[in-house]
Amino acid sequence: MDERLNKVINLTAEKFNLENHFLKRHHIFREQSDMNETTYILNMEWFPKDADETDEDYNPSGTASIDVDLQTNLVKRIIFVNGENKTEADFPPAASTELAIEWIEKQTGLEFGRQFKLIHEEEKELLFQAAVDNVAVFPSGSIEMEFNEEGKLSLFSIDGIFPNEEQLNWEPFALTAKHLDPIAKSQSKLLEIPLEDEEKWEAIYGTTTVFVTNDGRRTVSFEEVESPKSYIQKDVLLEWQEPIKEKLTKQDIDLSLEATPEEAFSKEKALGNDILTVDDQQHAEETSRNFLRSEFPEDSGKWKLSGLWREMGYIFAEIKPVAPDARVIDRKIKLIIDEKDYNAMNFIDNHPILNLFKNFEKAEQPKLSKEEAFKKLREHIEFTPVYVFDKKQNRYILCGKIDCEYGVNAVTGEVVLLNEL
């Protein structure tokens, strides 16, 4: 076994008192962060020494699956199979939030109140969210803890980003409802949502989530914040004169997350982090056009290139219809391009998913206007201060988040909770 891995394994066994367990198997995998940075995680499966090993593919009760970040040596996840914790480790007990917070701070190096806050608390479950001085951040991070019937830890996980004060521009929150109301109204739109039980589309007015910079001059979409750091928004109409007769031959794409110790401990930059150059963008645009000339030869001018980004050593192009409908599930194609020669290698089309709804009854024509619907929604719209990562400044900036969990039925005028539809 690699000596560097062996050191991490021994430290893990010592930290969590795994003397009653043995390491059954382990592997390394890549994990891509919201900032498009690659980390390498060592997963270890520790079987109880009295475990029944008759089934090689089965992890017996009490198995501890532990993930450790090989760069920081910090634990990322602990999962006990069937919730059965047979260790004698010094885990915090259930119903002791204060001890749980102290344990999290020790394991992660984060500081409660300054980098994360409690957002959900039950006797056997705790959920925390990334925050700077108790103000939420986007993209965000989360910490989850669960406990079994005996009050022992059964799950711990930490995911996402937890910035500190040095990574943000501090300023007093200056936005008011006067600034945000007109923007919230402009974000209200008519959507068609599929109701699977009734096999029909329902017309609903809703307000899309958006972030407004603290000076009120710019809005940032939720999709823009959640997109990879290398993501470049596009709005390029794809037209052509002549089709291409030869169809794309799909090639196998290596998006495997498995990694070797050499890759994990290498000082070389991992694949997929570089920003796309102007030359990359021009080639990807031309490849996207040629792909459509081949696959949709009669559709010149009906599609547009909406975004480009790098991922796992490939260039991804997002292609959407120029004139999308109001349905919440819109048509899109993800084209995978070789970053070395810019040849199209494969594509993913969500058309088969849309086909699942092709026999659904069409939505009724709205009886309410957008203005009437907004009056009903206004009292349910939330304005909250948040720190949002600005890709241009490479820092978090203060914004106002406009969000609404409710919608208005465009036919009946009923106010409905969107996640219950």
Per-residue pLDDT tens digits for 390-404: 888 889 999 999 999
Alpha-carbon span 393 to 312, nearest angstrom = 24
Q: Domain of 56?
A: 3-167
**Structural domains of the chain, count:** 2
Residue at 170: amino acid letter: W
Q: Tell me the pLDDT tens digit for each residue of 57-79.
A: 688 999 999 999 998 999 999 99
In this predicted model, what pLDDT tens digit does every residue of 12-42 receive, in sequence order?
Answer: 999 999 999 999 999 999 887 666 678 899 9
Coil, helix or strand at residue 171: coil
Q: Which residue(s) pair with 415 in the sheet?
A: 408
Asked whether residue 50 falls in the same domain as residue 132, the answer is: yes
Domain-located, residue 45: yes
- SS3 state of residue 206: strand
CB contact at 8 A, 188 and 374:
yes
Length of the chain: 421
Alpha-carbon distance values, 266 to 3, 70, 71, 73 (Å): 14, 11, 10, 15
Task: Examine residue 203 and state whether it is found in any structural domain, yes or no.
Answer: no
Q: Convert the pLDDT of each residue in 307-324 to its tens digit.
A: 999 988 899 999 999 988
Please compute the mean of the pLDDT values over residues 218-226 and round it to a whole number: 88
Q: How far apart are CA 29 and CA 43, in angstroms?
A: 8
In the listed set 143, 167, 191, which residue is the last one of a domain according to the structure?
167
Regarding whether 148 and 241 lie in a shared domain, the answer is no
Tell which of 167, 185, 209 closes a domain. Answer: 167
- Residue appearing with tokens 């109001």: 326
**157 is a domain residue:** yes
Q: Is the same domain home to 252 and 138?
A: no
Q: Tell me whether residue 192 is in a domain.
A: no
Long-range contacts, 94-103 (Cβ 8 Å, 24+) = 94/123, 94/124, 94/147, 94/151, 94/152, 95/123, 95/151, 97/121, 97/126, 100/126, 100/145
Q: Rounded to whole angstroms, what are the CA distances from 41 to 64, 72, 175, 306?
A: 16, 10, 41, 33
State mean pLDDT over 75-87.
95
Contacts of 284 (CB under 8 A, 6+ apart): 276, 305, 308, 315, 317, 337, 342
| pLDDT score of 169 | 83
pLDDT tens digits for 258-281?
889 988 888 665 555 578 999 999
Q: What pLDDT, on a 0 to 100 scale, did the predictor assign at position 326? A: 82
Report CA-CA distances (Å) from 295 to 299, 341, 356: 9, 20, 22
Local confidence band at 325 (pLDDT 50, 70, 90 cut-offs): confident
d(CA 240, CA 305): 14
Residue with tokens 């799909």: 250
**Spatial contact of 373 and 382, defined as CB atoms under 8 Å apart:** no
Q: Per residue in 185-209, pLDDT tens? A: 999 999 999 999 999 999 999 999 9
Say whether both 23 and 139 belong to one domain.
yes
Position 420 in a domain: no
Average of pLDDT values for 327-347? 94
Give the Cα separation of 82 and 148 in Å (integer): 9
Helix ranges (DSSP H) in 47-191:
97-108, 177-187
DSSP alpha helix (H) spans, 236-364: 261-265, 278-295, 351-355
**pTM metric for this prediction:** 0.83
Q: Is residue 199 part of a domain?
A: no
Average pLDDT over residues 87-106: 93
Q: Tell me, yes or no, whether 71 and 152 share the same domain.
A: yes
- The structure tokens 């739109």 sit at 189
SS3 280: helix
* Residues 154 and 283 both lie in one domain: no
Does some domain include residue 391? no
> Do residue 24 and residue 154 come from a single domain?
yes
The predicted-structure confidence for 290-300, as pLDDT tens digits, reads as follows 999 999 999 99
Under a CB-based contact definition with an 8 Å cutoff, are residues 84 and 60 in contact?
no
On the question of pLDDT at 55 being above 70, the answer is no
- Is the bond preceding residue 139 a cis peptide, omega within 30 degrees? yes
149 shares its domain with 238:
no
Q: Based on the fold, state whether residues 93 and 238 are members of the same structural domain.
A: no
What is the average per-residue pLDDT within 91-111? 94
Same domain, 242 and 346: yes
SS3 content of the chain, % helix, strand, coil (to 5): 20, 40, 40
Q: Does 328 have pLDDT greater than 90? A: no
In a domain, 161, yes or no: yes
Which whole-number Å values give the CA distances from 237 to 292, 306, 364, in the listed order?
12, 9, 32
Please check the confidence at residue 52 and state whether its pLDDT lies above 80.
no
Domain boundary among 355, 377, 407: 355
For the segment 140-183, what is each residue's pLDDT rounded down to a tens digit?
999 999 999 999 999 999 999 999 888 888 889 999 988 899 99
pLDDT band at 56 (very low <50, low <70, confident <90, very high): low
Tokens of residue 363, six digits: 């939505």
pLDDT at 270: 56
